[in-house]
Amino acid sequence: MTPNVFWFIPTHGDGRYLGTSEAGRATTHSYMRQVAQAADDLGYEGVLLPTGVSCEDAWIVASTMIPLTKRLKYLVAIRPGLMSPSLAARMAATFDRLSDGRLLINVVTGGDPVELAGDGLHVSHDERYEITDEFLTVWRKELAGETVTLDGKHLNIREGRVLIPGVQKPHPPLYFGGSSPAAQQVAARHVDLYLTWGEHPDQVAEKIASVRRLAEAEGRTMRFGIRLHVIVRETEEQAWQDADDLISRVDEATIARTQQVFARMDSHGQSRMKALHGGSRESLEISPNLWAGVGLVRGGAGTALVGDADTVAQRIREFEALGIDTFIMSGYPHLEEAYRFAELIFPRLQITPKTLNSGGKPGDAFGAFSGEIIANTIVPQDETRVARAAG
């Protein structure tokens, strides 16, 4: 089976090291365009754009990328409690139509009460999921062509509708992540693909089983995905050295400040990420080749697959065996790592890169070949591939 592999647009910053501005990169439109076009050219299914106070607005960034890419899909957040479901439905329909069906929806309820208060939302954790339930009820029906009236506990909608429909029917697919019981119940009732952050495979399996049972009780089926960072190299030794280098500029004071921010959050998923490392550099490999170092200073997804190409591909297949069919990956810096991951992992997952030819002759993929011409006259070939074919 060929998994769906996504990449990530770093709208909240990028660089070679975490926790420092050293070798950092500004979040410019030019740079985000380069990452999006690389993902598009290489054959990634789509890209996730993060959301929140630390990010450039995902809808605006993604909309500027529509004419700059050909087939890339955009996973963009709707925010129950911060926006009207009818407004969000019209936004989705417009984006979907103008992109010719390249919109995917990430349902983000939020997990930081301080940030949410700054946006004007002052409700408890479980109330946020009550709002999300009502929001998605309206959003889904309106995009399916219904005129909706809802007198709910939190939302009061009178004859809401979408006049100009989108391309995908009944609506763009809904992606959603949430580890709490309230979140999982909302997922079971509404969404198409449930996302988890990278936890120990046993924890992932338990979460999948729980959500699947809830979905079955609702008479629905569910797909599953995982959000991970990745550090893949030609050798295991180099991969782990680069993992160490990534956090080499992170000092203890920065870790402590980060953990204070995490402590104020009521996100169950963030609590689970924090528990994987406990704010300590010790024992960061929580499962074979699954490393929690990113989460020392990064909110949200905090684990990475680390290893050589064969090992990383094997770990991906192991998650796939649990029921995961979609992998949303990222790596630092995101431009170079988009290429590295495609070059090293795509062939091992039977994904055909769009601009990374397999060492053929002129006339193959887009009339191109891979590598530099040898001695101005000889088209290079992948000697490993040639030997394998001959043998």
Given this model, what pLDDT does residue 365 score? 42
The DSSP output letter for 5 is E
What is the distance between the alpha carbons of residues 352 and 272, in angstroms, rounded to a whole number? 35
Given this model, what pLDDT does residue 132 score? 97
Given this model, what pLDDT does residue 362 score? 36
Q: How confident is the model at residue 366 (pLDDT cuts 50, 70, 90)?
A: very low
Mean pLDDT, range 174-196, rounded to an integer? 95
pLDDT exceeds 80 at position 279: no
Closest CA to 331 of 210, 391, 267, 242: 242
Mean pLDDT, range 61-81, rounded to an integer? 97
User: What's the mean pLDDT when you consider all of the chain?
Assistant: 91
Three-state DSSP at 42 gives helix
* Residue 106 in tokens: 């990430």
Given this model, what pLDDT does residue 375 score? 80
Given this model, what pLDDT does residue 368 score? 57
Which of 151 and 360 is assigned the larger pLDDT?
Answer: 151
Least confident of 39-48, 100-109, 154-163, 197-206: 197-206
Given this model, what pLDDT does residue 239 score? 98
Q: Note the helical H segments in the chain.
A: 29-42, 58-65, 85-98, 113-118, 125-143, 181-190, 201-217, 236-246, 252-263, 268-277, 309-321, 334-345, 383-390
Given this model, what pLDDT does residue 353 score? 63
pLDDT exceeds 50 at position 361: no
What is the distance between the alpha carbons of residues 146 and 140, in angstroms, rounded to a whole number? 9
Quick check: 201 and 292 in contact, CB under 8 A? Answer: no
Quick check: 172 and 96 in contact, CB under 8 A? Answer: yes
Given this model, what pLDDT does residue 276 score? 76
Given this model, what pLDDT does residue 359 score? 43
pLDDT tens track for 75-128: 999 999 999 999 999 999 999 999 999 999 999 998 888 998 999 999 999 999
Quick check: 81 and 110 in contact, CB under 8 A? Answer: yes
pLDDT tens track for 225-278: 999 999 999 999 999 999 999 999 999 999 889 888 888 877 787 778 777 777
Quick check: 307 and 340 in contact, CB under 8 A? Answer: no
pLDDT > 70 in the chain, percent: 93
Given this model, what pLDDT does residue 258 score? 86
Closest CA to 259 of 293, 230, 296, 233: 296
- The pTM (predicted TM-score) of the whole model is 0.91
Mean pLDDT, range 4-31, rounded to an integer? 95
Given this model, what pLDDT does residue 354 score? 59
Quick check: 72 and 44 in contact, CB under 8 A? Answer: yes
Which of 368 and 202 is assigned the larger pLDDT?
Answer: 202
DSSP 52-102: STTS--HHHHHHHHGGG-SS-EEEEEE-BTTB-HHHHHHHHHHHHHHTTS-
pLDDT exceeds 80 at position 199: yes
- Residue ranges and CATH numbers for the domains of the chain are 4-356 (3.20.20.30), 360-391 (no CATH)
Which of 119 and 331 is assigned the larger pLDDT?
Answer: 331
Least confident of 252-266, 295-309, 326-340: 252-266
pLDDT > 90 in the chain, percent: 75
Name residue, tokens 């090291």: 17
